Each structure stands twice: as C-alpha cells, then as structure tokens.
Amino acid sequence: MPSEFGELKIRGIHHIGVVVDDLAAAETFLARTLGLNKVAETEQADLKASFFDCHGTQIEVIEISDPIARSVRLGSEQARIEHIALIVDDLDDAVATLGECSVKTRQPSDGRRTAWTQAETSDGVMYQFVEGSEPDR
C-alpha cells in the first residue's frame, strides 16, 4: 500500500527480535515447550542470538552481554520484544521512502544490507528492514 510519499515494497515479516535475560532458558522454552526448530545462531562482541522458525517467520532471541547496552535494551525485564524485521526488495528505496516520511534510520557500518528505524520516529516501534532475503528455513 503506497504512503503519501512513496511505496514501501514489503514482502513479509523476516523475524521478530526479542531481547532476553537468559538465552539458554529462552532457547529451551522455544524448542521444548513451543516445539520450534533453531535454524541459526550468531555471536558478536556484545551479544549472542538464536533464530527459531515459526512457519516461515522467525523468532530471534537476543542476549546482551555488555551491562550498559543490556540495561538500555532490556531494562529490568526478563524479556521484551525489541524489533520487527521486514523484508524489502530494495533497501535504498525503503530508506529513502522512510526518510521522506521523517522516519530516521541507522545502518550497520559492516556492509550488511539492513537498516533499523529509530523508534521515536516510527510510532514507538523499532523496525528492521532486511533486503531481499527470506529467513533460513
């Protein structure tokens, strides 16, 4: 559906990102209780994350190791939904259209074709835009 500024060509939901206080406990719940299959995991300097497939949409559970970043992203909660990732065909077009709508975005400096909105400019929700990739199944 076109906005008054242009059309964001969203193909679907890639994943929903949930920051958790205990990655192992979250993985156990998703696998054993909900019966979801872990399809990917990643580790960076300040976080570990796992992705679980849920009928074509993934749930990403993220544990932050840096105490300051953890406090900012999780607060005192056990878990919280942090972002919704959407699939787009052309990231540059999506970022340009968002900018025309006064939505501020940030992109990683490592060349990955993804961008996140600043929640305060996107109705309080952080959205991630992932270029042209379906979740691993």
- pLDDT of res. 137: 44
Handedness of CA 44, 106, 72, 38 (dihedral sign): negative
**Domain shared by 59 and 112, yes or no:** no
The number of distinct structural domains making up the chain is: 2
- Split at pLDDT 50, 70, 90, the class of 132 is confident
Whether residue 92 sits in one domain with residue 80? no
Residues 106 and 78 in one domain: no
Q: Are residues 78 and 34 in the same domain?
A: yes
| Parallel, antiparallel or unpaired: strands 114-117 and 126-131 | antiparallel
Q: Is residue 58's pLDDT more than 80?
A: yes
Give yes or no: residues 52 and 119 share one domain: no
Q: Any idea which of 22-36, 46-60, 122-136 has the lowest mean pLDDT? A: 122-136
Range of the domain at 117: 88-131
Average pLDDT over residues 95-112: 90
* Distance from C-alpha of 39 to C-alpha of 51, rounded to nearest angstrom: 6
φ/ψ of 108, rounded to 5, equals -70, 155
Share of the chain above pLDDT 70, in %: 92
Does one domain contain both 73 and 105? no
User: Is pLDDT above 80 for 45?
Assistant: yes
d(CA 77, CA 21): 8
Residues 48 and 113 grouped into a single domain: no
Task: Examine residue 105 and state whether it is found in any structural domain, yes or no.
Answer: yes
62: CB partners within 8 A, 6+ apart = 17, 18, 19, 20, 23, 47, 48, 49, 73, 82
Lowest mean pLDDT among 18-22, 111-115, 131-135: 131-135
Judge if 75 and 124 occupy the same domain.
Answer: no
Q: Is 1 among the domain residues?
A: no
Q: With 60 as the cut, is the pLDDT of residue 52 above it?
A: yes
Tokens 């969203």, residue?
A: 10
- Average pLDDT over the chain reads 90
